[in-house]
Amino acid sequence: MQSGFTTRRREVFRLLLEAGILILAYLAYELVRRLVAPSSHEAFGHALNIIRFEQEMGIFFEPYLQAQIVDHHWLVTIFNWIYVWGYLPVIGAAALYLYIFRRPSYARYRNAFLLSGAIGLIIFATLPVAPPRMFPELGFIDTVHINSEFYSSIQKSEFVNEFAAVPSFHFGWTLLVGMAVIQTTRHIAFKLLGVTLPLLMLLAIIFTANHYVIDAVIGGALVLLAFAVVTAFERSRWRRGRPLLAR
């Protein structure tokens, strides 16, 4: 009985420790992102370069896509909610699920999360970009701030860097969650959920004018790169240990 109680207490401690690591890592990420926030002039210049690039590539769809929903309040509300509540709460729920039910996969996704975030900070520091919502003259509407006083107050606080549009971790980390769900479950309904989550977030970041298409591409590519690096490192460790296991 005492042994079982000790084991449960140890498991609770490990869970709290992991939660603390992730929370502190994210808070450090937000703090550093704010500390390296550059001038708005530079950020607007980079944003205009992205817009021009998308126009040349024929993929500057964001104003047109947003225009399709702004007159439908219920759609605006849905995608605002996806943008706000489909991010950190979903990431937290996925981390808890992996830790409790899929422990062997947990470390891989946690490390990919941390590595991609660290690389993202370097990009935020060297490539500040103003989000689409800061260009109303191009037809963008800041739907989240207009409809959410709470979120607006957070975004305007001194702790948030508003010029961190590239990469989009709203999409990238939600893609990571989707990959985790698809990989760790056999139920078709959950696999469909894993596919749907990043697609909904992709629409949300565009419909709310918080990111460009390129932001999502870079965010997704960065997360996939981090995941590949972490997976390759795991495999190299396994191969080094293979002869010992064989003996």
What does the pLDDT look like over 83-108, one tens digit per residue? Answer: 989 998 999 999 999 998 998 899 99
What does the pLDDT look like over 1-12, one tens digit per residue? Answer: 555 556 666 777
Confidence band of 17 (pLDDT split at 50, 70, 90)? confident
Task: Give this prediction's pTM.
Answer: 0.85
pLDDT of 150 higher than 70: no
What does the pLDDT look like over 46-75, one tens digit per residue? Answer: 999 999 999 999 999 999 999 999 999 999
Distance CA 133, CA 221 (A): 23
Which CA distances in Å does 48 have to 112, 125, 151?
Answer: 31, 18, 26
Average pLDDT, the chain: 85
Percentage of the chain lying above the pLDDT 70 cut: 82
Q: How many CB atoms lie within 10 A of CB 104?
A: 8
